[in-house]
Structures are given as structure tokens and as C-alpha cells.
Amino acid sequence: MERIESLKGKKMSENLLFKTSLNKAMAQCSRREFCVSDIRTKLESWSVVENDTQRIISELIKENFINEERFAKAFVRDKFIYNKWGKIKLASHLKVKMIPGNIIKLALDSIDNELYIKTLNRLITSHKRTVKAKNKYDLKAKLLRYGLSKGFESYLLYDILNEIED
């Protein structure tokens, strides 16, 4: 009889942990966008077992608290506007978060091409003022490395750097 009571108590405490974790995850997802891998990491840090983690994630997706496409678009928009990241860096960070390739492409396509080129141009022009270089080749090399580190495509950087006056 004691064993049955012990099992019931354990089951109830597991159920309580599940509900508490689900509510906590819902509260966090209602404040900002998360992807599945972010939530999975949070649930693991809260010591939620794998089976419950899957159930919680399924529930969050079903109730539209998590939407990978919505997350990817918000991530791309924010990192492009505020951090001035290029498409290569954006795609790389989304891949790390295990976002499917078709969703990454969709999110990257949401960036206006004209704004993308203008942003890159302003970024390079602004950085050019602070760079100390021995000659024009050194300057272009430093600006190219800077643009690549921000995740912009090399062919766009070459076009912009070739337009820079000597």
C-alpha cells in the first residue's frame, strides 16, 4: 500500500512539474519569440525529462506560442536592422538554432534588397573613416575583412569596394 501511495505521489509531482514548466514556457514565449531549440535548452536547464520536453514543445507549437517561421523572420529583421548583419551570418546563426533551410530562405528573402545594399554601403563608408591603412590596397583589404565578418556576400563587397575613390 505504501508503495502505491509513493508512486501516486511521484506521478502527481511529475505532473505538477510538467504543468509548471509548460506555464513557465508559455509565459516566456508570450514575451518574445523563441525557436524550438531555445525552448528545448530552457526545459533541459529546468531539469524537465525528455518525454515531457517533447509534450511541452508540441503543446507550445499547437497553441502557436512557438512558430519557427515567425521566429526566423523576427530574428533576421532585428539582427539586420540593429546589428547590421549580412545574410551569410544570419543564415549561419539560424542553422545553429536548427531552423529548417526553407524557413531560413523565406526569412532572408524578407529583407528588401535595396535596403540591404544601402545598409552595406553605409556600413563600409562609416567604417572607412576609422580605418588606418598604409595604402589603398590595405584599406580595401581591411574593409573587405570587416564586411565579411559582418556576414555580407563577397561579390557585393567587391562591387562597393571597387567604387571607393582612391
Domain at 17, CATH number: 1.10.10
Interval 26-53: pLDDT, tens: 999 999 999 999 999 999 999 888 899 9
Residue 13's pLDDT band (cuts 50, 70, 90): low
Residue predicted with more confidence, 12 or 93:
93
Mean pLDDT of all residues in 45-64: 93
Query: Residue 122 pLDDT more than 50?
Result: yes
pLDDT of amino acid 16: 83
From 42, 97, 109, 40, select the one nearest 71 (Cα to Cα): 97
Find the domain containing 34 and state its range.
2-66
Q: Which three cell numbers stand for residue 165?
A: 575613390
Task: Give the whole-number percent of the chain exceeding pLDDT 70.
Answer: 90
Mean pLDDT of all residues in 73-87: 97
Q: Which three cell numbers stand for residue 143?
A: 574593409
Return the sign of the alpha-carbon dihedral for residues 153, 155, 160, 164.
Answer: positive
Query: Residue 17 pLDDT more than 90?
Result: no
pLDDT of amino acid 7: 42
Q: Which three cell numbers stand for residue 47?
A: 531539469
- 7 and 27 fall within a common domain: yes
- 17 and 34 fall within a common domain: yes
Query: Residue 85 pLDDT more than 80?
Result: yes
The pTM for the full model equals 0.86
CA distances from residue 131 to 46, 50, 123, 124, 138 in whole angstroms, order as listed: 46, 50, 12, 10, 10
Mean pLDDT of all residues in 126-154: 94
- 53 and 82 fall within a common domain: no
- 13 and 47 fall within a common domain: yes
- 102 and 117 fall within a common domain: no
pLDDT of amino acid 164: 77
